[in-house]
Amino acid sequence: MEPATFVLFGATGDLAKRKIYPALYQLYIDQKLPSSFSFIGLGRRELTHTSFQANVEKSLLTFSRSDVKDAVRIKKFLNSFQYHVLDVDRKEDYTKLLKLVEDREAELNIMPNRMFYLSVGPEFFETIATNIHESGLGSASGWKRLVIEKPFGHDLESARQLNHTLNQAFDESDIYRIDHYLGKPMVQQMGQLLQSTLTEQDLRTRTIASVQISAIETLGVEERAGYYDHAGAIRDMFQNHMLQLLMMLTIEFPKRSSADEVVNLKSKIMKSLMPLNKIDVTQHVVRGQYASGVIKEEQVVGYTDEAGIALGSHNDTFIAARLRVDDPFWKDTPIYIRTGKRLKEKVTRIVIEFTSEGPVKDLLTIEIGPDEGITFLKSRSDLAFSDVETSLRSQLSFTKKEVNVKDAYETLIHDALLGDKTYFAHWNEVELSWEWVQPILDAYQDNLIPLHIYPAGTYGPQEANELLMKDGFHWWFDN
């Protein structure tokens, strides 16, 4: 791997502490960082290098994988970590930063390959990218890369505006948009796993009747009211993670794809997604918000009683939708997607239901998190309908996710350092996702879609079940 400088904006923030430092440290342990590696952390607060290193050490001791919490190694790793104060709006600060980066490159005798990781609120993306460009930080002879994480815009128009500004400073090929679902092992290995689970015959002789993609959570809005109350489940999960899961799954059928094809095929799927309009959206989308309830024996408050949520907020904490991909393979298969907060359990799962006669159901389940597994479940024709689900459930097998399993950030940061963009969101996909979602946002805005209130600790509003029942299906494994 080529030597590089890692410039982290937002170095004292929560994401850095929980995800970025543990990931970098693990890459260091696994010898997957460049041999010459310069790290410069930036933040608003005045901090000495030493106290910054002590803070990072604390977060590594708390959040890094349990088998490597070794104080001596941590110290060695942090030796090269520097910290500097930067006000994102002050142009002089970028000029100073350029000097620092160059001095450090000279000291370590490394090429000016620079990765700018923006672990800051999205409202700062444009300012920082522009200042990186104008200060000359991005004009060295080595490579330059910009790493950002969702939200990429608030709607179609703002996403386009953001991208336009970023493109003044960075080419699309240099922008790495993280969607952490693309870093999940089960998502990355989907093709391989399907190949080892399904035979050619399975694909030839069975027809896919429906697909269900669920990412349900027990957590509520937590400390993120300011962001979440303006985003809702549709922007927080659906427009990005859920549509990425849909893309990753559908491109694997009918035949497996190679990693290089991924980006192109994903856009093709998004283009084939049957568009909704503001009016017919009501037939295909269910919007929900949690009320108080009980989750795992704990009483929790309703959304509008959470700290920081606007009085009488109409924000969505749940969405279920029926989608259709208009291509020769998928055109007859409804795809149901749901995601929401304060539901009965935490699970991200894909269920593919195959057509068959009578009560016989064959299912392929892909468990993405927190446990992982892929199982092809076959039901027996002699079972009564009511026993089919019980029988299928008993066959499910997952591997409990171990504590020491790779985190998505580890894989993604490593890929970004290598320059491999396979598992990053390309602008084409992001734009197409916003295009598809925009009529739903408009319908929400105009209150064309009712907001169904569901008790916390359930699987969401009854209307989400009816969405499937109309087509003769039901959500599998809700219990």
Shortest spacing between CB 227 and ligand BG6, in angstroms? 8
CB 149 within 8 A of CB 177: yes
- Is residue 275 reached through a cis peptide bond, with omega within 30 degrees of 0 on the bond before it? no
In the bound state with ligand BG6, the residue whose beta carbon lies nearer, of 101 and 412, is: 412
Tell whether residue 13 is among the known ligand binding residues: yes
Tell whether residue 12 is among the known ligand binding residues: yes
User: What CA–CA distance (Å, rounded) separates 145 from 265?
Assistant: 24
Shortest spacing between CB 28 and ligand BG6, in angstroms? 23
User: What CA–CA distance (Å, rounded) separates 244 from 152?
Assistant: 14
Active-site residue, from 84, 133, 241, 414:
241
Shortest spacing between CB 97 and ligand BG6, in angstroms? 29
User: What CA–CA distance (Å, rounded) separates 394 from 377?
Assistant: 9
Contact positions vs ligand BG6 (CB under 6 A) = 215, 217, 219, 236, 348, 369
Tell whether residue 407 is among the known ligand binding residues: no
Active site residue 241: yes
Tell whether residue 474 is among the known ligand binding residues: no
Tell whether residue 87 is among the known ligand binding residues: yes
User: What CA–CA distance (Å, rounded) separates 175 from 416?
Assistant: 9
CB 118 within 8 A of CB 169: no
In the bound state with ligand BG6, the residue whose beta carbon lies nearer, of 185 and 369, is: 369
At residue 41, the 3 state secondary structure works out as strand
Cα 335–Cα 236–Cα 337 angle in degrees, nearest 5: 10
Tell whether residue 425 is among the known ligand binding residues: no
Residue whose CB is nearest to ligand BG6 in the complex, by number: 236
At residue 170, the 3 state secondary structure works out as coil
In the bound state with ligand BG6, the residue whose beta carbon lies nearer, of 112 and 232, is: 232
In the bound state with ligand BG6, the residue whose beta carbon lies nearer, of 401 and 452, is: 401
In the bound state with ligand BG6, the residue whose beta carbon lies nearer, of 237 and 364, is: 237
Tell whether residue 443 is among the known ligand binding residues: no
Q: Count how many residues are written for the chain.
A: 479
Shortest spacing between CB 217 and ligand BG6, in angstroms? 5
- Angstrom CA distances, 176 to 148, 179, 417, 430, 452, stand at 6, 10, 10, 12, 37
Tell whether residue 259 is among the known ligand binding residues: no
φ, ψ of residue 311 to 5 degrees: the values are -55, 130
Contacts of 405 (CB under 8 A, 6+ apart): 185
User: What CA–CA distance (Å, rounded) separates 145 from 174?
Assistant: 5
Shortest spacing between CB 444 and ligand BG6, in angstroms? 18
In the bound state with ligand BG6, the residue whose beta carbon lies nearer, of 275 and 370, is: 370
User: What CA–CA distance (Å, rounded) separates 180 from 8?
Assistant: 18
User: What CA–CA distance (Å, rounded) separates 385 from 355?
Assistant: 15
Tell whether residue 75 is among the known ligand binding residues: no
User: What CA–CA distance (Å, rounded) separates 179 from 227?
Assistant: 17
Q: What six digits make up the tokens of 396?
A: 């499910």
Shortest spacing between CB 185 and ligand BG6, in angstroms? 12
The residue behind tokens 């620092």 is: 100
Shortest spacing between CB 90 and ligand BG6, in angstroms? 30
Q: What is the DSSP letter of 297?
A: T
Binding positions for NADP(+): 10-17, 44, 87-88, 150
Binding positions for substrate: 180, 184, 217, 236, 341, 346
The residues carrying an active-site annotation are 241
Binding positions: 10-17, 44, 87-88, 150, 180, 184, 217, 236, 341, 346
